[in-house]
Chain A
């Protein structure tokens, strides 16, 4: 128990972070059929935005923690307006492929901008709780408790927004049948903009949380982005609840595999599971022949 406890804590914390990274990716895929390759870069920028305000500019922490949300949402909106919207308008049939390449370019540009401004050396994130609590003989750092709590609140908030609000229903309707939504008066362009902004805001927050238990570096978002993509594929692209479930389960498997077999086996085991799942169910665990949309 003495060793399994910390592994469990680490697994749940990373699961929460993967889940949060997954939400943004899955939202955008579900609504637009867009695999946003710049999602990881939004995480990175979120972490640096908070660092810039808190450490470099000395802003109070409530302002600094809002910075990733605002910056992430703004960049998400700009990605829609300058990249996704023109591609969607000019070549809707090849949008899904084109947007992968285009946002991959955006990701490279954003990561290199971070490299140019802040350099390649890692920084410690200054916004993080210190200390720990002890429960049943297990030490749980307060920062890990905070991460899981923030992720749960954001997941519940997103679920409530999508299920119960008019704007959320419009997002789901557009995801499930774009043309039908248009005929009912839904301005789909504005809905897409909202989805990219929401996803960007969540990604920015996720970046701050990831950096609080690791370090800030220009490739901060790459690993969570890769894992989030894996979770989405395992669950079936566009299936939000499935992806969140997969995030926690796979993160725990990764954590325990790293402990039992050695750190270098965690990720290969994860990939082996993904390959087996896709052989068994090519549309993902909860996916259907047609993609389930939000």
Chain B
């Protein structure tokens, strides 16, 4: 079996003295899109924050292509190849779209590589080229989400973590965002996606993990989850 791009084993993490995740294990195969679904406040975002080093790994391990990530500072995790597109975008509001994208390539010194990535990102997300010199704070919610994804792509990392890309967006914009994610998957990227609604990723995800109260309570193909009414009812309110 091929080595997982990202392997998480018995991960325990949390805030202050409280453990939020109490022993999570999951594998993200290279080139796959794996989704974590679950109710709000049960640890989905916490999982991504632990992978990026924003939260300490209290027990267990996180490996990126075999390399241990636990204990690294967030900027070192980024340098190792983890791209985290956070919930709520976290753009730099007083910077232009172009500067936000350039910040994505902060770790890259080769100007030719930066130019090539910019061209790729603007080809994938043409709206960003139109809004190039506009301040991030003046963008609509959908445009901000695109800048967040584009900034992540500028990092050129090996594994992308995308946290609730549909949060707070109108249905038509959510569709556009998921079209972009589908294209990223088609181009061979490895993605760990956090989402509240499993139906949105039914045709996209290779595997889905249901997270509840800090533990994975079910794993399998997305369509199987959608057929399990009792799980949907219990954990996701139908």
Query: Quick one: closest A residue to B83, CB to CB?
Result: A183
Query: Quick one: closest A residue to B92, CB to CB?
Result: A176
Docked-complex contact A176 and B86, CB < 8 angstroms: no
Q: Determine the distance from Cα of A180 to Cα of B93 in the docked complex, in whole angstroms.
A: 11
Tell me the count of chain A residues lying within 8 A, CB to CB, of chain B. 20
Instruction: Return the contact of A170 from the options B52, B54, B90, B106 (Cβ within 8 A).
Output: B106
Chain A residue numbers with a CB within 8 Å of B95 are: 169, 172-173, 176
Docked-complex contact A184 and B94, CB < 8 angstroms: no
Q: Is B103 in contact with chain A by the CB < 8 A criterion?
A: yes
CB-CB under 8 A for A185 and B78, given A166-B106, A169-B99, A170-B106: yes
- A interface residues, Cβ below 8 angstroms from B: 166, 169-170, 172-173, 176-177, 179-188, 292-294
Docked-complex contact A187 and B103, CB < 8 angstroms: no
CB-CB under 8 A for A183 and B74, given A170-B106, A173-B103: yes
Chain B residue numbers with a CB within 8 Å of A187 are: 73, 75
Query: Quick one: closest A residue to B155, CB to CB?
Result: A184
Q: Determine the distance from Cα of A179 to Cα of B93 in the docked complex, in whole angstroms.
A: 13
Docked-complex contact B54 and A179, CB < 8 angstroms: yes
Docked-complex contact A184 and B78, CB < 8 angstroms: yes
Q: Determine the distance from Cα of A40 to Cα of B228 in the docked complex, in whole angstroms.
A: 67
- B interface residues, Cβ below 8 angstroms from A: 52, 54, 73-75, 78-79, 84, 86, 90-95, 99, 102-104, 106-107, 151, 155
Query: Quick one: closest A residue to B107, CB to CB?
Result: A185
Instruction: Return the contact of B91 from the options A170, A177, A186, A188 (Cβ within 8 A).
Output: A177
Which of A172, A180, A183 has most chain B Cβ within 10 Å?
A: A183
Q: Determine the distance from Cα of A102 to Cα of B163 in the docked complex, in whole angstroms.
A: 39
Chain B residue numbers with a CB within 8 Å of A292 are: 94
Chain B residue numbers with a CB within 8 Å of A176 are: 92-95
Give 6 closest A-B pairs by Cβ, nearest first: A180-B90, A185-B78, A182-B74, A185-B107, A176-B92, A187-B75
Chain A residue numbers with a CB within 8 Å of B94 are: 172, 176, 292-294
Chain B residue numbers with a CB within 8 Å of A293 are: 94
Q: Determine the distance from Cα of A183 to Cα of B157 in the docked complex, in whole angstroms.
A: 12
Chain B residue numbers with a CB within 8 Å of A188 are: 75
Q: Determine the distance from Cα of A274 to Cα of B102 in the docked complex, in whole angstroms.
A: 39
Chain B residue numbers with a CB within 8 Å of A180 are: 86, 90-92
Q: Determine the distance from Cα of A181 to Cα of B73 in the docked complex, in whole angstroms.
A: 12
